Amino acid sequence: MPYESRAKRERAYYVSGIDAADYICKADGCDRKNAFRQLRAAASDGEVRIIYAHDRAPLPATWDFWWHVWIQLSTGKILYDTSEDEVRKAALDKGVIYFQSILVHRGDLEKIWPVAPQASSGSTTQLELPVRRPASEAEIERAAKELYQQPGKPPNLAKAEQLLMAKFPGTSRDAFIRPILQREEFRALRWKPGNQRKR
C-alpha cells in the first residue's frame, strides 16, 4: 500500500470551518450565522472535535474558550483573544493578532447533524430536518449557572441570552431563556456600571 501523508489522511476525517458551517446549513436548514452558533455550542460541550489547520493542535472544549472566540462568517476562520472588543479590533488592524483556519471532525458533524437521504426517485424532496426540542427549565438553569461560574467578567443579559440560545437552538429566548436569566439569583451575578460584582 502506498504511503499517504498525514495531511492527506486528515483530509478524509476533517473539513474546513466554512465547509462545516455549510454542511450544518444543509442539514438544519439554517443560515451560516446560526450554523456557527450551533458549532460553537457543540464545540464548547466537547461534542465536536476541532483542531487548528496549521499545527493540528486541538481547540479546548470549554465555554470559557469559545466565549472569547470570534468567527469570520465568510471564511470560517477563528480568533481567540480575551481582550476587550476595542483592544482586540486595534490589535487586528495592526496585524498583532489574526484569524486562523480550523478543521472540524467530519464524523462528529455527521453524528450531530445527520442529513436525511433524498427520495430514490431523484425528485427535489426537501431534507427532513432534525427536530430540536426546547430545553427544560432545569437544563437552562444548569447551563446559566455554569456560564456565570466561568472566570473573568460575567456576561451581561444580552450576551448570556446569546450563549444560551446557541447552546439550546430550539428554545425560545422570550418564553424560556430570558425569564430565567432575569431571576434575582442571576441578576445579582451581573456587574452593574460603577459597581463590583455582587457576592
Question: For the segment 120-176, what is each residue's pLDDT rounded down to a tens digit?
Answer: 444 433 333 333 456 778 888 888 998 888 888 888 888 888 888 888 766 778 778
Q: What is the pLDDT at residue 134? A: 64
Of 63, 78, 112, the position where a domain reaches its end is 112
Whole-structure pTM value? 0.57
Does residue 197 form part of some domain? no
Nearest C-alpha neighbor of 53 from the set 10, 82, 22: 10
93 in the same domain as 26:
yes
The answer to the question of residue 29 being in a domain is yes
Are 100 and 144 in a shared domain? Answer: no
What is the number of structural domains in the chain?
2
Q: Which residues in 38-65 are b (16+ Cβ under 10 Å) and which e?
A: bbbbbbbeeebbbbebeeeeebebebee
Same domain, 60 and 141: no
pLDDT digits (tens, 9 = 90+) for 25-74: 998 889 999 999 999 999 998 999 999 988 889 999 998 899 889 999 99
Clarify whether residues 97 and 147 are in a common domain. Answer: no
Domain encompassing residue 164? 137-187
- Please indicate, yes or no, whether residues 47 and 144 belong to a single structural domain of this protein: no
- Residues 44, 91, single domain; the answer is yes
Cβ contact 93:6 at 8 Å:
no
Pick the last residue of a domain from 52, 78, 112. Answer: 112
Are residues 67 and 164 both part of a single domain? no
Where residue 152 falls (left for φ over 0; alpha for ψ -120 to 50; beta otherwise) is left
Check: CB of residue 151 under 8 Å from CB of residue 188: no
Query: Residue 92's pLDDT band (boundaries 50, 70, 90)?
Result: confident
Residue 149 lies in a domain: yes
**One-letter amino acid identity for 38?**
Q
User: Do residues 169 and 129 make contact, with C-beta atoms less than 8 angstroms apart?
Assistant: no
> Do 108 and 147 have their domain in common?
no
Cα of 143 vs its chain's centroid, Å: 14
Query: Are residues 84 and 18 part of one domain?
Result: yes
